[in-house]
Amino acid sequence: SVSHHQPQRQQYRNQPEPPPPNTIPHHAQMHSHQQLQCSPELMAVLEVLTSEFTVPSQAWPKNIETDRVIIQLITDLLVALGGSSLMSKLRQCLKDQLRLEPSIKSVPLKNFVTAYSEHFYLGEGGRVHLASGVIRQSRSVGEGRGQRHDQ
């Protein structure tokens, strides 16, 4: 009879070392997406958006250079959804658009939306809305053009 010498365990022992703590975990890596350049900065933003360890009191570390792609994507999605969306729908749309393996978490996304109050705001029932004036300037996110209306 043929001996089955547990080859599975052998495979696990020979797996590569886990990545150092500073690198993006494999589950947070984006799958190919034509429109987005997957820069290390964007990967860092996505890692925070998919983190389960963000707390509501934690402010989003604003950086228009690294966040611009996500601001534009959320803006485009909200325009397509009529100017507002439930948080759950926005999370799913972002996940689909970015072709992410892990899901976008509510807490970091709320923190992101709150940090960019010149673009978005949270309304009743957890809806995310475009701030007034954003639709007219949705193509010029982060470039200093267009009127911004503070709330």
Name the amino acid, one letter, at 83. Answer: G
Query: pLDDT by residue (tens digit) across 30-85?
Result: 333 334 557 888 888 999 999 999 888 889 989 999 999 999 999 999 999 999 99
Name the amino acid, one letter, at 38. Answer: C
Residue 84: burial class (beta carbons within 10 Å; 0-12, 13-18, 19+) = middle
Reported confidence tier of residue 136, pLDDT bands at 50, 70, 90: low
Is the model more confident about 13 or about 99?
Answer: 99
Of the candidate ranges 1-5, 24-28, 99-103, 118-122, the one whose mean pLDDT is the lowest = 24-28
Q: Which residues pair with 121 in a beta bridge?
A: 129
Query: pLDDT by residue (tens digit) across 121-131?
Result: 999 988 999 99
Residues 6+ apart with CB under 8 A from 70: 42, 45, 49, 94, 112
